Amino acid sequence: MQPNRNKQKYYKKPTKTNPEDYIYGIRTIIEAVEANRSINKILIQQGLAGDLLRELKQVLKGTQISYQSVPGQKLNRVTNKNHQGAIAFLSPIEYQQIEDVLPALYEKGRTPFIYILDRVTDVRNMGAIVRSAECNGVDVVILPSRGSAMINADAVKTSTGALHKVPICRSFNLKFTIQYLKESGVSVVACTEKTNDLLTKTELTGPVAIIMGSEEDGVSPEYLKMCDKKVKIPMFGTIESLNVAISASIVMYEVNRQRVIEQETEG
């Protein structure tokens, strides 16, 4: 996303939590992890201790499920039932691993088309981006395990079901994931205003991963440094930024436009 340059603070409208979106109680959460339930994240009450908590942290090792220590009031806002100091938010989709998805794409003879969403926190933007991704033949969408909107029923609804069709990978360390993509022959391209290179003038026909940044401040500087290319969307009006979901769609169509032209030329 080309971030807004003014200093207005981005306001994210709070979303309601449906009872179907979470489970509570440490033992229940342990059993869910051991059963390989798809979990977005876990909230643990600050100051909580004991053998069960140690067991939970042990079973979380080796998974890509993140947990966060929060005040008890935050848990109480989710449910007024006896949560015992722990709540896990469930995902309606099954996450995949990019290390499994990318080799399979190459084996099928596809030219990988990947989207990385860096701290996109609005659930409706998330759903809209994945909807556009499905329409444009994007092979996989990668999300960081922390700092990203949770995929819940609202996201699935906004995506009109595309979240059940496009593989979604969760990255525990986005820097490692970006490096893996680069080493695997994928050009990593950031959509950012911090460049003079226009989207329409940049070659994007090969294996490519597009990074879209947060609604508030764009792509993180540490990821910008790692990118092979940086592009910006040409702007002609007085407003200097676009919604991240709209920006993502524009870039998708440009990648496909270039690929179609290349195929016609080769044909």
pLDDT in tens, 62-110: 788 889 999 999 999 999 899 999 999 999 999 999 999 999 999 999 9
Are residue 186 and residue 148 in the same domain, yes or no?
yes
- Tell me the per-residue pLDDT of 101-139, one tens digit each, with 9 for 90 and over: 999 999 999 999 999 999 999 999 999 999 999 999 999
Rounded to the nearest 10 degrees, how much is the dihedral formed by the CA atoms of 128, 190, 196, 249?
-20
Cα–Cα dist 227/211, whole Å: 9
Are residue 128 and residue 193 in the same domain, yes or no?
yes
Cα–Cα dist 132/163, whole Å: 11
Cα–Cα dist 171/97, whole Å: 8
- Residue range 143-169: mean pLDDT, rounded: 91
Residue 221's pLDDT is what?
95
- State the CATH number of the domain containing residue 214: 3.40.1280.10
Are residue 50 and residue 145 in the same domain, yes or no?
no
Are residue 167 and residue 213 in the same domain, yes or no?
yes
Full-model pTM: 0.84
Q: Residue 32 is encoded by which pair of tokens? A: 């869910």
Are residue 130 and residue 193 in the same domain, yes or no?
yes
Are residue 138 and residue 260 in the same domain, yes or no?
yes
- Residue range 144-157: mean pLDDT, rounded: 88
Of 45, 65, 90, the residue at which a domain comes to its end is 90
- Tell me the per-residue pLDDT of 37-72, one tens digit each, with 9 for 90 and over: 889 999 999 999 999 999 999 999 878 888 999 999
